[in-house]
Amino acid sequence: MTEVIRLTLVSHAMTDAMAAGRFPVDEPLNRIGRRQVKAAARLDINSGIRQLAGPEERARQTAQLLGLHATTEPRLADLGCGAWCGQTLQALGPADLEMWVSDPARAPHGGESIVDLIERVAGWLESLTHSTSPTVAVTHPAVIRAAILGALEMSPKSFWRIDVAPVSRTVMHFRKGCWTLRL
């Protein structure tokens, strides 16, 4: 029988930056986000499941409100937005923003490019294949997009075409040397 590794990725809940269309800083969930987590209910987690969360407060808080006792995993950190952290989309130069969304290898904000994010997440996914423990990880929409692109061997240009809703769950399985996405 083929060994299957199960990974459940959970997107953190709403923050003030998300509601205002700002690039994130390390901030807590807002009132709407706390209600979203409450509506999602707790995750039914068995004792043998590895529980992880990104290092930012919004990911750790979502994990805690879901009833997880998650260990912080630095590779689940949000996309580094450099100088754009805290800025609204309207405050940015349109040319820089267009360059960023059209060329995944560029990071005009001085942070992390989409390509770099995908490589970081791919390294984390690879580390999961050395264990048979199922994993649940609370992280960011950008990290979940990167995991999907890496798992399906899709072009980084498709990054912005994947919507990840707050507190949504994405399930992936690793078997026979490759990841699959379960919808």
Q: Where are the domains of the chain?
A: 5-182
CA 1 to CA 25: how far, in whole Å? 45
The CATH superfamily label for domain 5-182 reads Phosphoglycerate mutase-like (3.40.50.1240)
pTM of the model: 0.96
List the chain residues with pLDDT less than 70.
Answer: 1-2
Summarised one tens digit per residue, pLDDT across range 13-57 is: 999 999 999 999 999 999 999 999 999 987 777 778 999 999 999
Beta carbons within 10 angstroms of residue 104's beta carbon: 20
The two structure tokens encoding residue 10 = 């959970």
Helix residue ranges, H only, 68-157 = 94-102, 114-128, 141-151
Question: What residues contact residue 98 under an 8 Å CB cut-off, 6+ apart?
Answer: none
